[in-house]
Each structure stands twice: as structure tokens, then as C-alpha cells.
Amino acid sequence: MTVTSNFYDWNEGITVLFEASGNSAVSENLFKVISSRIPIESFIVFQYHKAGIPEISYENLNNMDHRNNLKSYLDGAYLLDPFYQYFVEGDIQGPLRLRDIAPDHFLKSDYYRSYYKFSGLRDEVNIYIPLSDQSALALALGREAGKRGFGKKELAILQDMMPVLNSVCRRQWQNTAVKAAQGNIRFIQALDNFGTSCLSAKESEVLHLLLMGHSAKSTAARMGISPGTVKVHRNNIYAKLDISSQTELFSLFIGALAHMTGDGSEDPLIAYHQ
């Protein structure tokens, strides 16, 4: 039986990966193993926590602007990230493409226009690996602008890698997740409470969905109301917050997070306007 070059390279990569278990070389070897089967340019290892700020265990970004953009992500933009939201809302594992989970107006959202488009990415896949009931590892695979998007065949290849990825990643990071899961929940509470000091309950719900990039139609479907009612709520939100656009709404949200005090249990706009 002849062993193909690709199969030999894969097995050699897996051997090196397991040998690196327990030290800092694991992340770099994960990138090498995955990229040997799936062409990718960027690789970031996130630890997502339902009760804390995401942590970055590894990144291979060479562009300083992209690294600075990543800092903005951790400063609060992550709360509106479809990948992070998907983790918070459900029990998930395996590979998922951005296009499969993003809201219908993602490309028009201010998260995209103010943050994501500066990441330099054309497409992204996150591979979720649960570490506990409150934490998961997210292996973020990126393709740069100008490249083709991830196809279904590539997702199937990534799915076939899951037994190896689950074993290596849990061995490397599971113990760290227990301690980190007890982290700071103030940003998550701040998102839930943003605008509540001056908006009605329905307006706050509309605000939350609009910030995440949902259109009036998508917001209406989620809330069980008409798109026209959503637009009325949106106009009332803009008037009460003294803004006139979605871009101003996103800027106000990020600005309020930067001025937030306490544990996030009150509307961050209160401290922002003081």
C-alpha cells in the first residue's frame, strides 16, 4: 500500500502536535496542521467565557493595524460579534462559517463597518471546542481579502479533524477554563442594560438586536412584531438617545463601555453622561 504525501504530512503533523502538548508550541502546531489541509492566512485561539471577557491564547497577525483592531475587539466590540453571540446563546461545537450565523444585515451593521472590515478578512470560520459549561475554545481561521470564501467541502474536512482537535485542545486548555470562567461579567451586563435608564423594555430589546446587525425585518421576526413597529421603536430610540444614525448608536455604545464604572448592573449611559 502506497502512503500518499498528504496523508504522510498529516500524520507527521499530528505526531508533532501531540508531542508539543503541554507547552506553548501547541498553538503554532495547530495552525500548521490545520493549514496543511485548509488554506488559511490568519489563526487566532480565543477562549470564550459566558461570564468574562474573551482571552487570546495565540495569534499570528503580522499587520500592526490588525493587531490594534484586535485590541478594540477586546475593549467591547466582541459583545456584538456573531461568533461570540452564537457561543453565548447555545451549546455548540465544531466548525461554523461567519456567513452561516451572521445577522441578515451584518455587512451594513456598525460592528462590521466600525470594526470587522478593518480586520483584513474576506471570510472566517470558528471551530468551537467546549471546555466547560461556561467556556469554550474558538479556533478562528481567517482568509484575507481577495481570497475565496470557505466552502462546504472544507467545512467537512474540518469536521473530520474534530476528534484530534478536541483531544489536543482540551488537554491543553481545559484546566485554564475553570479559573477564567469566574471572571468579570460587567461588560455582558452592560450590554443587557445599555439604554435601559431611558428606554422602554421593547425599545431596549430592539436596540440590542439592531446593535448586533439585525435588520428591521429580522428584528421583527425575533420579537413577533411588524417591521413597521420596529421602525417606530428605532425612531423613538434615536430621539431619546439624541442620535440620528446606526453609526452614532454604535459609537455611543462603545463610548459608554469605556466610561463604565461598577459591575455593569446599571445602564452604562448613566456614567457616560455624568
> What's the angle, vertex CA 85, arms to CA 128 and CA 137, rounded to 5?
25
Instruction: Kindly report the average pLDDT of the chain as a whole number.
Output: 85
Calculated CA dihedral for residues 167, 173, 176, 182, nearest 10 degrees: -80
Residue 28, pLDDT above cutoff 60: yes
Residue 158, pLDDT above cutoff 90: yes
Per DSSP, the three-state class of 119 is helix
Q: Which of the four pLDDT bands, split at 50, 70 and 90, describes residue 9?
A: confident
205-227 pLDDT, tens digit per residue, is 999 888 878 888 888 888 999 98
Q: Which of the four pLDDT bands, split at 50, 70 and 90, describes residue 5?
A: low
Q: What are phi and psi for residue 146, nearest 5 degrees?
A: 100, -15
Nearest to 87 by CA among 38, 54, 56, 123: 54
Distance between CA atoms of residues 274 and 255, nearest Å: 13
Question: At 53, which helix (H) or strand (E)?
Answer: strand 52-59
Per DSSP, the three-state class of 117 is helix
Q: Which domains does the chain have, with CATH numbers?
A: 5-180 (3.30.450.80), 186-272 (1.10.10.10)
**Least confident interval from 43-52, 215-224, 241-250, 255-264:** 255-264
Question: What is the pTM (predicted TM-score) of this model?
Answer: 0.76
Please give the share of the chain, as a percent, with pLDDT higher than 70: 93
